[in-house]
Amino acid sequence: MAATVETAPAPPAPPVPLAALLARADLGLRLLAGPDDVALHWVHTSEMADPYPYLLGGELLMTAGVQLTDPARYVARVVEAGAAALGFGVTPVYDTVPAPLVTACERHGLPLIEVPPKTPFTAVARALWRLMAEARLHELRRVSEAQQSLATAAARPAPVPAVLGALASRLAGRAVLFDPAGAQTASAGREIPPAASEALADLAGVVGPRPGGPASASGDGGGLQLAAYALGGGDGLTLGLATERRGPSDRTIAGVAVVLLSLLTAPHRAADVTTRDTALLRLLLGATPSAAADALGPGPWTVVHARGGDGTPFAAATLAAALGTPLMDPGTTADDGGTPQARGFAPVRLLLPSSAPLTAQPGWTLGAAAPADAADLPSADAQAARALRRAEATRTPLVRHRPAGFAGLVDRDEAAAYARATLAPLSEPLVETLRTWLSLHGSWDRTAVALAIHRNTVRQRIARVGTLLDRDLDDPDVRMELWFALGRL
């Protein structure tokens, strides 16, 4: 079994199996080649002779074959780009799907769908979006119900076995608690093959509190998907999971369980852990660094600011568990109700050992400071705040601190006022189009794909921006100035 550090994927919505789209009788789609169990993440329509530069991977690529001259090369390029399937519309160019195209798809294992004349491509796209929305709603309900079930289990007289049982039930697998020596201290769920049990124990030995060790890892064994998570209770315990599947919602549910089990296995938290948590909060709230540096240790440490989550009470704790740290300030802001992150108030703030891996997390926007010793954490906190603002301005899941450069020479409030005045003539759609277009280095096609609009619409909007601002957008100095302004709105 090969163990890998687990990184959570971040699709905007759960992918939809091709078979679910084929099952829509109203579309009349017919599978001509390839399997029907591939996952579709989105739909893209292109009549380019070579659509490779405009594909992101995972698409159902739709075409009528307007420029199809070499089916073998066309399919090879589509497969190389990572497209999930090819949809071919018959008429007005072809009366039937070309046989060489079918042969090429069979050779490459690329699913080929015949789209009948009565079905417009937009109907296929709309059907896929609806299926994705239904899948997303199902996942959200599943996570919400699991959170309630786990919270109820945690309130029972024997909470640890109850949480393990609820977790195993929700994931339809087995949950095992390992001690630092690798022995099972508690377990729940269905029995698994000996090979899977042995592989799970090996995987649990990969994670843990040792310096530089990952907080979670995943693998497979005995025909099952395996995952292991180090608990933050301070006792070196590890949660092992063996399931048939492992999707984004499964990781979220596991993250909630990790937080609860971390608390339940340390009902009387060790003095040093309590001191570290208190020290973190004092540092981030502006206390004298020397007051907490001894408790935290020399570091180096990484301060992270985060905004997002799903609006549940467990969101911030789940994020902390996913990043492998108990040192977390949830960013609670007292007011008349609601979720602070959803309203854009104080972000979640976390402190990680700099040796711990830091990756983007689904549903969150993160800003990370440069590694810093305990005495320099207040400055690092400010760096993380600036990094988070850049991440939000550029729609980037994770931004790490970098030297301020020229931007650091300008007062932040003055820069914001300048940005507002400069971009005041633009509506929100024009601002978003300009931001995306500049971030993609002026590419019309890539901007169109990113915004899900036609490339001609991109051209019209950018031309309108140039007119309203009375600027030459072909001038690199103008582009630099506008990008600076967009980052300070």
Q: What is the pLDDT of residues 69-79, one digit of tens each?
A: 999 999 999 99
Tell which wins on pLDDT, 305 or 157.
305
Encode 92-130: b = buried (16+ Cβ within 10 Å), e = exposed.
eeeeebeeebbebbeebebbbbbbeeebebeebbebbee
Burial (CB count within 10 angstroms: exposed 0-12, middle 13-18, buried 19+), residue 320: buried
pLDDT per position as a tens digit, 413-448: 777 888 888 999 999 889 999 999 998 889 999 999
- For the cut 80, the answer to whether the pLDDT of residue 341 exceeds it is no
Please state, in angstroms and rounded to a whole number, the distance separating the CA atoms of residues 75 and 80: 8
- For the cut 50, the answer to whether the pLDDT of residue 278 exceeds it is no
Instruction: Give the mean model confidence (pLDDT) for residues 333-350.
Output: 54
Q: What is the pLDDT of residue 25?
A: 94
Q: What is the pLDDT of residue 204?
A: 87
Q: What is the pLDDT of residue 208?
A: 63
Among 368, 402, 436, the domain boundary falls at 402
Q: Are residues 288 and 394 in the same domain?
A: yes
* Beta-carbon count within 10 A of 48 CB: 15
Question: 185-199, 232-246, 337-351, 474-488: which has the minimum mean pLDDT?
Answer: 337-351
Q: Are residues 162 and 256 in the same domain?
A: yes
Q: What is the pLDDT of residue 7?
A: 37
Q: Are residues 249 and 217 in the same domain?
A: yes
- Helices within 344-424 (DSSP H only): 377-394, 412-423
Residue-by-residue DSSP string for 26-76: TTT-EEEES-S--EE-EEEE---S--GGG--SSEEEEE--TT-S-HHHHHH
Q: Are residues 254 and 275 in the same domain?
A: no
Q: What is the pLDDT of residue 281?
A: 47
* pLDDT band at 141; cut points 50, 70, 90: confident
Asked if the structure places residue 244 within a domain, the reply is yes
Question: 70-74, 247-251, 298-302, 339-343: which has the minimum mean pLDDT?
Answer: 339-343
425, two tokens: 């003539």
Asked if the structure places residue 10 within a domain, the reply is no
Tell me what percent of the residues of the chain surpass a pLDDT of 70.
82
- For the cut 80, the answer to whether the pLDDT of residue 8 exceeds it is no
* Beta-carbon count within 10 A of 430 CB: 17
Tell which wins on pLDDT, 427 or 340.
427
Asked if the structure places residue 316 within a domain, the reply is yes
Q: Is 257 helix (H, G, I), strand (E, B) or coil?
A: helix
* Structural domains counted in the chain: 4
Instruction: Give the mean model confidence (pLDDT) for residues 308-328.
Output: 72
Q: Are residues 187 and 108 in the same domain?
A: no
Among 402, 430, 463, the domain boundary falls at 402
Question: 13-17, 229-233, 442-446: which has the minimum mean pLDDT?
Answer: 229-233
- For the cut 80, the answer to whether the pLDDT of residue 276 exceeds it is no
For residue 71, what is the domain's CATH number? 3.40.1390.20
Q: Are residues 377 and 448 in the same domain?
A: no
Q: Are residues 278 and 376 in the same domain?
A: yes
Instruction: Give the mean model confidence (pLDDT) for residues 147-173.
Output: 87
Q: Are residues 231 and 177 in the same domain?
A: yes
Place of tokens 């305990």: 374
Asked if the structure places residue 144 within a domain, the reply is no
Question: 139-148, 174-183, 328-337: which has the minimum mean pLDDT?
Answer: 328-337
* pLDDT band at 81; cut points 50, 70, 90: very high
Q: State how far Cα 350 lies from the chain centre.
A: 18
Q: What is the pLDDT of residue 258?
A: 87
Among 264, 287, 310, the domain boundary falls at 264
Instruction: Give the mean model confidence (pLDDT) for residues 97-119.
Output: 96
Q: Are residues 284 and 231 in the same domain?
A: no
Asked if the structure places residue 198 within a domain, the reply is yes
Tell which wins on pLDDT, 216 or 89.
89
Q: What is the pLDDT of residue 409?
A: 55
Q: What is the pLDDT of residue 310?
A: 65
Please state, in angstroms and rounded to a whole number, the distance separating the CA atoms of residues 155 and 8: 29
Please state, in angstroms and rounded to a whole number, the distance separating the CA atoms of residues 261 and 249: 18
Asked if the structure places residue 221 within a domain, the reply is yes
For residue 187, what is the domain's CATH number? 3.30.450.30
Instruction: Give the mean model confidence (pLDDT) for residues 78-91.
Output: 95
Q: Is 450 helix (H, G, I), strand (E, B) or coil?
A: helix
Place of tokens 């570091």: 299
Asked if the structure places residue 3 within a domain, the reply is no
Q: What is the pLDDT of residue 335?
A: 40
Q: What is the pLDDT of residue 135?
A: 85
Instruction: Give the mean model confidence (pLDDT) for residues 145-152.
Output: 86
pLDDT per position as a tens digit, 284-298: 445 455 555 555 666
Tell which wins on pLDDT, 271 or 47.
47
Q: Are residues 309 and 372 in the same domain?
A: yes
Instruction: Give the mean model confidence (pLDDT) for residues 213-236.
Output: 81
Tell which wins on pLDDT, 488 or 486.
486
Asked if the structure places residue 451 within a domain, the reply is yes
Q: What is the pLDDT of residue 343?
A: 38
- Top-confidence range, 94-108, 250-264, 330-344, 375-389: 94-108
**Average pLDDT over the chain, rounded to an integer:** 82
Q: Are residues 394 and 465 in the same domain?
A: no
Question: 179-188, 291-300, 322-331, 474-483: which has the minimum mean pLDDT?
Answer: 291-300
Tell which wins on pLDDT, 337 or 354.
354
Which residues are 220's β-sheet partners?
225
Q: The domain containing residue 481 runs over which residues?
A: 408-486
- For the cut 80, the answer to whether the pLDDT of residue 326 exceeds it is no
For residue 472, what is the domain's CATH number? 1.10.10.2840
Instruction: Give the mean model confidence (pLDDT) for residues 227-234.
Output: 79
Tell which wins on pLDDT, 266 or 118.
118
- For the cut 60, the answer to whether the pLDDT of residue 350 exceeds it is yes
Q: Are residues 318 and 371 in the same domain?
A: yes
